[in-house]
Amino acid sequence: MLRVGLTGGIGAGKSTVATRLAEHGALVIDADRIAREVVEPGTDGLAEVVAAFGEDVLTDDGSLNRPALAAKAFADDESRRKLNAIVHPRVGARTAELMGQAAADGIVVHDVPLLVENGLAAHYHLVLVVDADPEVRVRRLVESRGMAEADARARIAAQASPEQRRLVADVWLDNGGAPDIVLSEVDALWADRIVPYEANVRLRRVRPLPSLKPVPHDDTWPVQAERVIARVRAAVGPKGENIEHIGPTAEPGTEAPDVIDLRLTANADVTEELAAAGFPRDPEDPPGLHRGADPGRPVTISVV
């Protein structure tokens, strides 16, 4: 199973991308929808919210009055933590349940608006970020959601910045133009990267290394390496003692083959953990060498 994280700021048009991926066959898990489900009328989640915040967080029909709850839950840090302690475990359990229902060869797209803010990027094989110019997003929020312009700008400013999202984005989708443009990009991404990546992970198959001819230095190589390092750390846990970016792509200004090379020092066998995270071993490679399964990003990991 391939885990894809999907995120983007309010008004960026993330649902357009999610819908297209679902049309291609992905199982889309909507974090916002689950957060609403776990506090629907009749759930123990709603009962616990009422017990914690009072009957006045309910509407006349017994459903959750979200503005009333927000006024109480976000009044101070302690109240916010109380609400999170009620909702987050239930969202996590339901998300795990849905992921567990995915086929062995499935592609799960986890649609999480606060993926960056909650530090979740390392837990996916691939992270897609949908973005659009802030003025485009403001116009969409005003025209399609009836939001006041000042409120729209405040909501955008309160979320992660484009710079923060770029740090975790394996794929950046600009959805500021005509819908057909981003949809064609999603179609190509699905066919050329996501589907082959899933097969590689499932079959424990590495992607071939590209040409080893040096290319001009890419200033994003260190950022790309940090994304891979975060995934490796999340995968191996306490078995990993140290991991570092090595080789020519770690040297500022140096021409190099477009391959991210890492060295992992481990205190136990991490073969299975790395393979599940998208870094299997090719039996023909030297012992201790793992390579990436992602068709879009060549990686080697030397395990010591």
Tokens describing residue 19: 């819908």
pLDDT tens over the chain, length 304 residues: 999 999 999 999 999 999 999 999 999 999 999 999 999 999 999 999 999 999 999 999 999 998 899 888 878 889 889 998 999 999 999 999 999 999 999 999 999 999 999 999 999 999 999 999 999 999 999 998 888 999 899 989 989 999 999 999 999 999 999 989 999 999 999 999 999 999 999 999 999 888 789 999 999 999 999 999 999 999 999 999 999 999 999 999 999 999 999 999 999 999 999 999 999 999 999 999 999 999 999 999 999 9
d(C-alpha 202, C-alpha 184), whole Å: 26
* C-alpha closest to that of 74 among 95, 93, 91, 57: 57
Residue pair 133/139 in contact by the 8 Å Cβ criterion: no
Annotation-wise, does 19 bind a ligand?
Answer: no
Q: Please report, for the chain, how many H helices and E strands are present, in that order.
A: 12, 9
What pLDDT, on the 0 to 100 scale, is given for residue 144? 86
Q: Is 265 annotated as a binding residue?
A: no
Q: State the fold for domain 221-303.
A: Beta Polymerase; domain 2 (3.30.460)
240 belongs to an annotated ligand binding site: no
Residue 220, marked binder: no
Hey, what CATH topology would domain 2-197 get? Rossmann fold (3.40.50)
Q: Quick one: tokens of 197?
A: 């990546």
Phi and psi at residue 58, to the nearest 5°: -105, 150
The pTM of the whole model exceeds 0.75? yes
Domain ranges of the chain: 2-197, 221-303
Nearest in space to 126 (alpha carbons), one of 196, 174, 30, 211: 196
The 10 Å CB-count burial string (b at 16+, else e) for 96-105 is: eebeeebeee
The reply, when asked if residue 43 is annotated as ligand binding, is no
Q: Is residue 15 marked as binding? A: yes
Strand extents, DSSP E, the chain: 2-8, 27-30, 107-111, 126-131, 171-174, 240-246, 260-266, 289-291, 299-303
DSSP conformation class of 117: T
Q: What pLDDT does residue 229 have?
A: 98
